[in-house]
């Protein structure tokens, strides 16, 4: 496949270096956006067409656009990292491209070719490279997404779809050191059901998680942990992060289920652990196994993982009738050393022996 030729319409009002510096001083997550965005149209008749770079701004959408009614939408999340020599890289973006395709299949959306996905990342960086900060542990969060834009209220897959890419500067996730989080065990709500959309990165899964997330906040927790929807006893994942348990013999276990989103961070971290000689198992794990294993000393660490925070140690799980751990449980040693190894690769501080990094600039 030949590379896409993006039509370029540059903004007449780019942020000034000082405005950008003010944003970089306190970017948080998902609050500010770069000067441009990329979009590619799709229609049943014409396939993928009209790739564009244009000024970042509101999208015009017909009120009948089916995404607004039936939620036919998918997205991705990955980061651009600035290395010490100034070059800009993404981490395994081909895996995000393929996952966008599998999400598309589940949500009856068209598959965007992997090359178009990668070209869109490079196109945005070609105009917004200055938005990739060189401050330690910062990045430019890239958010590709696709939605049904056909104006039609009948229920069927849309014949007109849009793919967009926007980007948002991200600060160091943990300011003042990596801190273990408390998570709330949701026993009233499921995130995804058997045969449902749990393995697709689609907005509806997030919409379904928010009421449980509110419950977590009400119990003083930052995140919510979901169980399987059939028996309500097997671990699934957090609202937007996968989960891994570490056993005292050094083995790692992560839940296996077809309603879990297959995280690229989890896949990478488990591969690094395997290469160090740790045994890694993907299998069904119950919440009872975690509770009993923690009490007996069999399970010694737990962490959540995803692109935004990379690896977050879990200090405590709070449930209606029991608690595992405590909020001041220290971050696990293996958890932290895997986090360091992965972020060293991402920021170019360590040799990329897996060929995971993909250059976005130049």
Ligand X SMILES: *Cc1c(COP(=O)(O)O)cnc(C)c1O
Closest CA to 241 of 273, 204, 209: 209
| 229, 242, 335, 346: which one binds ligand X (CB under 6 A) | 242
* 73 contacts ligand X (rule: CB under 6 A): no
Would you count residue 261 as binding ligand X (CB under 6 A)? yes
Site size with ligand X, rule: CB under 6 A: 14
CB 159 to ligand X: min, Å:
27
Q: Which residues, in sequence order, are CB contacts of 214 under 8 Å at separation 6+?
A: none
Residue 40 to residue 315: CA distance in whole angstroms: 43
In contact, 44 and 149? CB cutoff 8 Å: no
Residue with token string 């899964």? 205
With CB under 6 A as the contact rule, which of the stretches 163-171, 222-230, 258-266, 283-291 interacts with ligand X? 258-266
- Please tell me what DSSP assigns to residue 130: G
Select from 14, 71, 77, 113 the one that contacts ligand X (CB under 6 A): 77
Residues 188-217 that bind ligand X (CB under 6 A): 201
CB-CB contact of 153 with 72 (8 Å): no
167, 140 in Cβ contact below 8 A?
yes
Of the candidates 146, 241, 285, 287, which one interacts with ligand X according to CB under 6 A? 241
146 binds ligand X, rule: CB under 6 A: no
State residue 46 phi and psi, 5-degree precision.
-105, -5
255 is a contact residue toward ligand X (CB under 6 A): no
Q: What is the DSSP letter of 191?
A: S
149 binds ligand X (CB under 6 A): no
CA–CA distance, 346 with 172 (Å, rounded to integer) = 14
For position 180 contacting ligand X by CB under 6 A, the verdict is: no
Burial class of residue 296 in the structure, from the number of CB atoms within 10 Å of its CB (0-12 exposed, 13-18 middle, 19+ buried):
exposed
Q: Give the residue with the Cβ less far from ligand X, 15 or 209.
A: 209
Q: Say which residues have a Cβ less than 8 Å from residue 273's Cβ, sequence separation at least 6.
A: 252, 280, 334, 338
String marking each residue 276-305 x if it binds ligand X according to CB under 6 A: -----------------------------x
Rg (CA), the chain: 21
257 binds ligand X (CB under 6 A): no
Contacting ligand X (CB under 6 A), which of 97, 129, 235, 264? Answer: 264
Stretch that binds ligand X, among 36-44, 152-160, 212-220, 262-270 (CB under 6 A): 262-270
The CB-of-21 to ligand X minimum distance in angstroms stands at 28
Considering only the stretches 165-173, 264-272, 285-293, 315-323, report the one whose residues sit in contact with ligand X under the rule CB under 6 A: 264-272
- Write out the residues near ligand X by the rule CB under 6 A: 77, 201, 237, 240-242, 261, 263-266, 305-307
């Amino acid at each position: 496949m030949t590379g896409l030729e993006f039509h370029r319409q540059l903004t007449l009002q780019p942020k000034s270096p000082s405005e950008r510096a003010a944003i970089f001083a306190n970017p948080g997550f998902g609050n500010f956006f770069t000067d441009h965005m990329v979009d590619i149209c799709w229609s049943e008749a014409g396939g993928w067409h009209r790739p564009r770079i244009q000024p970042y701004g509101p999208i015009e959408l017909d009120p009948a656009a089916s995404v607004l009614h039936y939620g036919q939408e998918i997205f991705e999340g990955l980061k651009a990292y600035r290395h010490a020599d100034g070059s800009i890289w993404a981490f395994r973006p081909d895996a995000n491209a393929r996952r966008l395709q599998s999400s598309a299949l589940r949500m009856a959306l068209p598959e965007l070719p992997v090359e178009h996905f990668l070209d869109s990342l490079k196109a945005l960086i070609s105009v917004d490279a200055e938005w990739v900060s060189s401050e330690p542990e910062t990045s430019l969060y890239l958010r590709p997404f696709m939605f049904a834009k056909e104006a039609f209220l009948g229920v069927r897959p849309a014949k007109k779809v849009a793919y967009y890419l926007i980007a948002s500067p991200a600060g160091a996730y943990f300011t003042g050191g990596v801190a273990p989080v408390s998570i709330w065990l949701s026993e009233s709500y499921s995130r995804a059901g058997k045969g449902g959309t749990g393995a697709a990165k689609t907005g509806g899964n997030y919409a379904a998680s928010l009421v449980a997330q509110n419950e977590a906040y009400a119990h003083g927790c930052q995140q919510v942990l979901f169980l399987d929807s059939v028996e309500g006893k097997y671990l699934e994942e957090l609202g937007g992060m996968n989960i891994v348990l570490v056993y005292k013999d050094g083995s790692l276990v992560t839940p296996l289920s077809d309603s879990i989103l297959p995280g690229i961070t989890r896949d990478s971290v488990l591969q690094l652990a395997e290469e160090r000689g740790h045994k890694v198992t993907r299998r069904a794990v119950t919440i009872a196994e975690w509770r009993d294993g923690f009490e007996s000393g069999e399970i010694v660490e737990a962490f959540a993982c995803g692109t935004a925070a990379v690896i977050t140690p879990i200090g405590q799980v709070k449930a209606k009738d029991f608690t595992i751990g405590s909020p001041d449980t220290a971050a696990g040693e293996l958890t932290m050393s895997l986090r360091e190894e992965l972020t060293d690769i991402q920021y170019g501080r360590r040799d990329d022996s897996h060929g995971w990094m993909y250059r976005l600039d130049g």
